[in-house]
Structure 1
Amino acid sequence: MGKGARKKGSGKGGKRKIRDVFVTRPFEGLAAEPELIALREFVPSATAPLSVKDAGDRTVTLASVLPVAAAAMVRADSGEILIGMQVQTRSSDISRDLGRALRWALDAEPGQVLSVPDTTSEPQPGERLQDLLDPDAELNVELHSDFSWWLGEGVEPTGEVAMSLERANAAILPTEKVRPGAYWTLTGEKAHLRWVWPTEEDTLLKGLARLSAAGELSLGEGSRYAGSFRAHGLLVPVWDLDPEAHAREWNDPAEQFAERLGKALESLENEPLDAEERRARDGLVGRQLTLR
């Protein structure tokens, strides 16, 4: 080997440069994808049992957020593993971050806490959620009106813990589940429905455009289509709702909308958008906000 030559793939100091590719749709392939996105982005206080392939008899619970936005923790009393969705930092692949937090917790001792996920190590095979979970398992999400579940059963908060819990509880917005991936939230004088759809983004946008052109995009009286979020590779349509109406009053309108949208999506296979529907699609694109 000639002077100054280096081994192929090596860089300065002999270290190989890691190419970290951004994963646009990190939860693709998981039946729980819509719920994972909801827990990550807009559900305040919630937990769900997690079906982990090699957890043995360990209890693993997915949480919207943990104390101090920790990535994972193991309860000192029961050994229950808690994995947090809303964390302080992230890499280019959220699924890998969560998988690493889960693998850490499976080897951790009771009472240990992982403050932040590992976002810098070189990617390795078998460490994403898709590798660790049952891909067909749905998430049975339980909503909570406060964060008392942080402490465990029968534990009373004191000192700084009590103050932290009080602050977290004060920030919770009333939230209820209307359908899988669809959550009603009361924000002061306004109410909203945010609905994560597991349909490919461009296809869903066309379906929404077809309904918009037909005047069928609302959820009925007291509702207005506000726009959509783009979150982790999926669209999240949002409606403004009558704040005086209870969340359960939107169950039937949401079901009817799901049927309309399902038919619109099916029709796209044989009927491309016409000129009016394409204009409607362009209008919907202008009402999108990307969450990062």
Structure 2
Amino acid sequence: MGKAARKKGPKKDRKPKVRDVFVAQPFEGLAAEPELIALREFVPSATARLSLRDSPDRSVTLATVLPMAAAAFVRGDGEAFVGLQVQTRSSDISRDLGRALRWVLTAEPGDVLSVPDTTSPPAEGERLQDLLVADAELDIQLHEDFSWWLPEGTEPSGEVAMSLERANAAIKPSERLGTGAYWVLPGDKAHLRWVRPEPENKVLQALARLSAAGEIGLGEGSRYAGSFRAHGLLVPVWDLDPEAHAQEWKEPAERLGDRLEEALRSLDDEPLNAAERRARDGLLGRQLTLR
């Protein structure tokens, strides 16, 4: 006798597979790309109003860290915030932030989005590039603490109070010296961390040209330390004398920026010479791990 035929049950509906590709440069195309990276990666307490493409009259504030590291929330006074520094992320940070932004536009005072939506299939029109004015810069406001979490005159309580206390205790001094350029004091050494908008290879070549010419520093009390990558862009880092006030480095940083811009322009006409190529090889070996 042959084998008994197996009964086939009804086919189960299968969810279509969605190709979710990692986006290495999530803020590409936005004029504020260097600032977005700085605020997400190493600036402790800062805010900036967003320029919304389809809702120019709506007020939404982008922030480094929100209470309990929330993705978005609406204060009791109706002020809406979207947080950059969150614990959960998908393969596309721009999409995570765009979803948080769309959520906060319809949220009510007191509503909190604890984590961004990182599981829904990608859809059209939900990335920051779809929601923000692409050429709008960010007007960065640095803060010495996180008191801006609460409306003026409000006393914190419960989990918010504990989160506020922890956040204030962990904050490190920082000051903005220019677009994407921040003086930070994370420990015994002060640093200049500068998110550069140009392609990584171009920045390295320009830095190599300055290094070979002895012009890569900010002057006495400074030393080029290396660089790290963040969301598709290169972030050169300089060690600075911690005894000097942050604003004492503003003018030297501007002069360095001018030299770097000139070196970048010169690359179109003058390839690196032998000494500059050796300098570039040395720079490539000085990659840092951000702590």
TM-score (norm 1): 0.92
Report deviation, 1:267. 0.8
Structure 2 partner of 1:70: 70
Identity of aligned residues (%): 75
Aligned partner of residue 145 in structure 1, secondary structure: coil
The residue correspondences of 1:169-248 to structure 2 (distance < 5 A) are 169-248=168-247
TM-superposed CA distance for 1:252, in Å, is 1.1
1:96 equivalent in structure 2? 95
What does the per-residue CA deviation read over 1:149-181, in whole Å, with 9 as the maximum and x for residues that have no partner? 111211112344323211110101111111111
Question: Offset at 1:187?
Answer: 2.6
The structure with the largest alpha-carbon Rg is: 2
Return the alpha-carbon distance in structure 1 between the equivalents of residues 119 and 145 of structure 2.
33
Q: State the AA in 1 paired with 2:66.
A: L
Contact 2:76–2:151 at 8 Å: present in 1 too? no
In structure 2, distance between residues paired with 1:52 and 1:98: 13
Matched with 1:23 is 23
Q: Any gaps of 5 or more consecutive residues in structure 1? A: 1-11
Give 3-state SS (helix, strand or coil) of 1:224's partner: strand
Structure 2: distance between partners of 1:21 and 1:62: 25
Q: Normalization by structure 2: what TM-score?
A: 0.92
Q: Secondary structure at the match of 2:234?
A: strand
Q: What is the CA–CA distance in structure 2 between the aligned matches of 1:218 and 1:277, rounded to whole Å?
A: 16
- Say whether 1:272 aligns with 2:271: yes
What residue identity is the alignment partner of 1:60? V
Counterpart contact for 2:74–2:111, Cα < 8 Å = yes
Stretches of 4+ moved more than 4 A in 1?
A: none
Q: How far off its partner does 1:28 sit?
A: 0.9
Which residue identity is paired with 1:235? L
Change (3 A) 1:160 1:116: closer
Q: 1:38 is matched with which residue?
A: 38
- Give the length in aligned residue pairs: 281
Residue type of the alignment partner of 1:288: Q
The CA deviation at 1:14 is 3.0
Measure, in 2, the Cα distance between the counterparts of 1:40 and 1:291.
13
Distance 1:256 1:42 in 2: 23
After TM superposition, give the deviation of residue 58 of structure 1 in Å. Answer: 2.7
Q: SS at 2:262's partner residue? A: helix
Q: CA deviation at 1:212?
A: 1.1
- The alignment partner of 2:185 has SS state of strand
Segments of structure 2 that go 5 or more residues without pairing to the other structure are: 1-11
For the 8 Å contact 2:99–2:126, the answer to whether it is kept is: yes
Q: CA deviation at 1:201?
A: 1.1
The letter of the residue matching 2:182 is Y
**Secondary structure of the residue that 1:82 maps to in structure 2?**
strand
Structure 2 residue matching 1:29: 3-state secondary structure: coil
Against the structure 1 CA distance between its residues 291 and 13, is the aligned structure 2 distance closer, same or farther, given a 3 Å change threshold? farther
Secondary structure of the structure 2 residue equivalent to 1:259: helix
- Between the aligned partners of 1:52 and 1:175, the Cα distance in structure 2 is 28
Question: What letter is aligned with 2:146?
Answer: F
Task: Give the Å deviation of 1:240.
Answer: 0.5
Asked if 1:126 corresponds to 2:125, the answer is yes
2:115 maps to which residue? 116
SS in 2 for 1:251: helix
Match of 1:14? 14
